[in-house]
Structure 1
Amino acid sequence: MELENGASFSIEALMENPGFRAWVLKEDQREGEYWKAYIAEHPERREVIEQARSLLLDMNEHFTTDDMNAAAVEQKLQAQLERLGSPEKLGRNSRFELRWTSGYLRLAAASILLLLVAGIAWWWIQRPSDLYATNFGEWETVTLPDGSRVNMNANTTLRLDDHWNDGAIRRVWLSGEAYFQVTKQSDTHGLFQVITDDLTVEVLGTAFNVHSRGEHTEVYLEEGSVNLELADGTQGAMQLEPGEMLTYSKALSTIVESGPASKELTTSWKDGLLKFDKTPMREVLQEVEDIYGITFRLEDESQYDRPITSQGVPMEQLEVTLPILARALGLTVELENDIYVIK
């Protein structure tokens, strides 16, 4: 469901939007196309969207029924906020007012209370720097507080655990694709975890790539060692050796590929190139759509499974990428009504 014209844009408004909830909770794949296009048109709103998405996922994880008393929750929320600090320190009014316009917001308030008690709300209030995000067609390299370096592909978000420095495990949540060079903590031997919707990657100090979009998650290990655990708990911990990749299919709820893989093909995006070796055209087009937030339509649908090989399609600008991609496909690409039609 689209946002109404003139409607206020806020975390609350997003969480009230049925289409937004359907997209975040993966209840309707069609909503994904709308929100992908919306973020591309309004990149300045991406951070608010990601905050609403993270809160909604946290809420959905902990609550399944609406049995909270509004007045009691509001009173407890106010008490927790006062303990966190003065209004000046929090950068907002001391009075925290809740609008009980729907049962879903009651759940949101209950979730916020849980996050406050657990300490996660400090991230929402005080630590916006713990959320890293790239827009469509944008790449970034960030250094985490422990010195680990992360190369972020376009259309990617990375969120740090609020308790990053409090314990032995360093946790980050990833949506999109990123290449990690993790610094080993020799003093604490602290583990480093990358958490996606499908699985958790656990390492000590190593270099690896995680691609988590759509219906599958891929993990490629360049050096060191990693342990993998599926989110659904259907399989015990698995290990990868350097040069191996594991692919998990959400649609099939199973591991569809595991074994040796090409580092050059898997991590070439860090160098600004997309490389393919007998890759189905469907996957090639999906990769470019994810990076730039655009939509392709192939006139001859029988071509979707055609294998594509390319030694390098530059990613810096869409205007450069498309002509070279067209040559690699042996076809032409034309823009028609905001859709790139391949003929």
Structure 2
Amino acid sequence: MIKKEYNNIQDFLEDISFKNWVDQNNATDINFWEFWIANNPDKKELVTKAKDLILGVSFDKQFVKKEKVALEWAKLESKIKEKSLPTKKGKIISLKKYMVAASIAIIATIGFYFSNKNKTISYKTNYGEILNIKLQDGSDVTLNANSELFYYENESRKVHLNGEAFFQVDKKKVTNAKFWVVTNDLSVEVYGTSFNVNTKKKKTSVFLEEGNIWLKLKNGGDKKMIPGNYISYSSKEGKILEDRNLENSIIKTSWKDGSLFFENLSLEKAMEKIEESYGFSIVFKDEESKKTLITGAVPITNLDICLKAIEKSVDVKIIKEEKKLIISKK
């Protein structure tokens, strides 16, 4: 939870979201702080000092050139040969210490190099939040509520997803480079296309809107998809749970435009999407309400309006009680 008041430098330094803004790591935090700074001009000096402190304690990201490393290594070898001539124990121990120190320095340099080369770029949404993302390679992603996406800076066309997202992948015509979406259940292999991935409910569901993709399943199998295909797979069960063609793609993709579309769906199943988006647990007071069928679109960007629309559509009463939505027939 982002802090509400920032009255001194320490308040900024203790806030992870502020550090994400300084490092330009998280889109949600970046957007928040740009807005906050613009609306709190009196705190500009504090913000600048806190930012300078964070940047000041960062490691220097310039690396030693190969030629410099080779030169220093040659010098080290020369010194080792010189110190190897005496055979007194004191000299040998000193030499060993020298070599160990040099090895540690080299390992530390290599480790620092690779840790910076694998910098993580991450995005995360809260309940009720939808985020539009432009990836480093030019692809567009719409990240649904309560979801997380990340990738390594040197692998910008291989993203990891936990939650739900809609992808519009930029096709690299010159290199024909692949794009990958990795989940706990499978990997989606793409060249350039539009598709939806959902990892909730302990499975991964993929709907292909346009283009062609391959699914690499965790059980070693693979599956080619064509536009209109919807496939659901569980690594826990080790099998495909659902494989069918959808005539109406809006059922799986309408959320990215701010609404949910239901087509002859039970209210119990429809409310699962509300639960995913807002984190409320659903309680039905009677079995009849569960089985009531709902068809149509409801807005998802505002929970109160969404619930009113559902109440009107299927003639039920929905009461918010703490983190529960209690549903009953009117």
- Any residues of structure 2 matched to 1:148-297 within 5 Å, and which? 148-164=139-155, 170-233=157-220, 236-249=221-234, 252-261=237-246, 262-297=248-283
Q: CA RMSD in A?
A: 2.9
Q: 1:312 to 1:213 in 2, by over 3 A?
A: same
TM-score, structure 2 normalization: 0.63
On the 8 A contact 1:139/1:154 being kept in 2, the answer is yes
The residue type paired with residue 88 of structure 1 is S
Larger Rg: 2
Change (3 A) 1:119 1:295: farther
Task: Call closer, same or farther: CA 1:164–1:339 in 2, change over 3 Å.
Answer: same
Find the aligned partners of 1:331 and 1:225 in 2 and give their Cα distance.
Answer: 42
Identity of aligned residues (%): 32
Aligned partners of 1:154, 1:275: CA distance in 2, in Å? Answer: 16
Secondary structure class of the residue paired with 1:88: coil
The Cα of 1:120 is off from its aligned counterpart by 7.0
SS at match of 1:323: helix
Cα distance 1:140–1:230, how it changes in 2: closer, same or farther (>3 A)?
Answer: same
Secondary structure, aligned partner of 1:122: helix
- Deviation track 1:133-172 (CA, whole Å, cap 9, x = no partner) reads 111111111110111001111111110134226xxxx210
Tell me how far 1:117 sits from its aligned partner: 5.1
Please name the residue that 1:9 is paired with.
none
> In structure 2, what residue type is equivalent to 1:322?
L
How far has the Cα of 1:119 moved from its partner? 7.2
Q: Aligned pair in 2 of structure 1 residues 164, 250: CA closer, same or farther (>3 Å)?
A: closer
Distance, in Å, in 1 between the alignment partners of 2:186 and 2:225 is 14
The alpha-carbon distance between structure 1 residues 225 and 289, as it changes in their structure 2 partners (threshold 3 A), is same
**Post-superposition offset of 1:202:** 0.5
- Does residue 89 (structure 1) correspond to residue 59 (structure 2)? The answer is yes
Structure 2 vs 1, CA of residues 211 and 295 (structure 1 numbering), >3 Å: closer, same or farther? same
Q: Which amino acid aligns with 1:288?
A: I
Q: Structure 1 CA distance, aligned partners of 2:325 and 2:271?
A: 10
Tell me the distance in 1 between the aligned counterparts of 2:289 and 2:114.
48
Determine helix, strand or coil for the equivalent of 2:175.
coil
The answer as to 2:300 corresponding to 1:315 is: yes
Quote the residue 2:116 is aligned against. Answer: 122
Task: Report how far residue 197 of structure 1 moved.
Answer: 1.0
Q: Which residue of 1 aligns with 2:48?
A: none
Q: How many Å apart are 1:249 and its aligned residue?
A: 3.8
Query: Is 1:133 aligned with 2:124?
Result: yes
Find 1:339's aligned residue among 318, 324, 327: 324
Structure 1 residues 159 and 119: alpha-carbon distance in aligned structure 2, compared to 1, 3 A threshold: farther
Q: How far apart are the structure 2 equivalents of 1:336 and 1:230? A: 41
**TM-score, with length taken from structure 1:** 0.60
CA contact (8 A) 1:120 1:162 kept: no
Give SS of 1:229's match: strand
Q: Is the CA contact 2:117–2:154 (under 8 Å) kept in the aligned structure 1?
A: no
